[in-house]
A and B are shown apart, each in its own frame.
Chain A
């Protein structure tokens, strides 16, 4: 009987002051958590395919780079406009490094970087350039389109909002 009462109480709680306070606290916590710490987003576009398919859902974990810096191969969320529009990209080089694409292969400081996450054929060529101070160089995993049609490049670390949860 006690178990039944507990189950019933769980699904049909009494509207006591304590219950209302609990609801308010949980709502407040959920609002703060999902607005500022773990922001849900939907992926629109094919730039990160096949790692992150178009239409997928994920969360941006804001504390990911609280104590560390974005490193090569990390997937990061870059603030694009306002607080709601983000770009999901992969870090390929850090400040001071030279980035270059030769026949679709990525070279950092003259050395070829093996990228297992790039599954589609790529034939990009991009002359060498140095990543500026306090910046990271980000590119999408899907490089099957012409280089002019892919939005990538260096961005300020300040714009890196965090990383996806999965």
Chain B
């Protein structure tokens, strides 16, 4: 009974770290694209991606053109546009290290690997280390800042 109780408590009331990790799982699931994905799924995923981000979310990347503060709508549109260039896409997120520097604030360091096949037939395999800041609002965690770590600076 005690064991069942513990299992139920962990399942029904997951820890904050598990909730944060779940947001990354959703991001990975929604960014990924299987061959022959239909328009309905594509639109649904596009819409869902935006719901993971805070309004607005800051993006910091070594390429200046990508850096900036974006509203959800733009993030969804950008994700949709980027996904449309691929016939197959797989976003893998691993080595997640979750810290809580303040209450309702999470800082996550992770490795993101994007493997895909462009519609032009080109094979894509990109790896980056990301630093994400998340904020908890209304019981849910949202990305407030996503930074691509610049390992080598010319």
CB within 8 Å of B: which residues of A? 78-85, 87, 89, 126, 138, 151-155, 159
Q: How far is the CA of A155 from the CA of B150 in the complex (A)?
A: 9
Chain B residues packing against A (C-beta within 8 Å) = 94-95, 110-112, 127-129, 149, 151-154
The complex places the Cα of A46 from the Cα of B64 at a distance, in Å, of 27
Q: Is the interface of A mostly helix, strand, loop or mixed?
A: strand
Contact A80 B127 (CB under 8 A): yes
A155 pairs with B153, CB closer than 8 A: yes
Are the C-beta atoms of B152 and A85 separated by less than 8 Å? no
Closest residue of chain B to A138, judged by CB?
B152
Chain A: CB-nearest residue to B111: A82
CB–CB A82/B153 < 8 A: no
* B contact residues around A82 at 8 Å (CB): 94-95, 110-111, 129
Distance to closest chain A CB from B124 (angstroms):
14
Q: Judging by beta carbons under 8 Å apart, are B151 and A80 in contact?
A: yes
A-B contact count (CB 8 A): 42
Contact A153 B152 (CB under 8 A): yes
- Kindly list chain B residues whose C-beta atoms are within 8 Å of the C-beta of A81: 95, 111-112, 127-129, 149, 151
Docked CA distance A163–B38 (Å) = 48
Partner of A153, one of B95, B110, B127, B154: B154
Apart from A81-B128, A159-B151, what are 19 other A-B pairs with CB-CB below 8 Å?
A: A78-B152, A80-B129, A80-B151, A81-B95, A81-B149, A82-B94, A82-B95, A82-B111, A82-B129, A83-B95, A84-B95, A85-B111, A85-B127, A87-B152, A89-B152, A152-B152, A153-B154, A154-B153, A155-B152
Q: Are A151 and B152 in contact (CB under 8 A)?
A: yes
In the bound assembly, the distance between CA atoms of A126 and B153 in angstroms comes to 13
- The distance in angstroms between the C-alpha atoms of A154 and B151, with both chains bound, is 8
Q: Can you list 27 contacts pairing A with B, beta carbon distance less than 8 Å? A: A78-B151, A78-B152, A80-B129, A81-B95, A81-B112, A81-B127, A81-B128, A81-B149, A81-B151, A82-B94, A82-B95, A82-B111, A82-B129, A84-B95, A85-B111, A85-B127, A87-B151, A87-B152, A89-B152, A138-B152, A151-B152, A152-B152, A153-B154, A154-B152, A155-B151, A155-B153, A159-B151
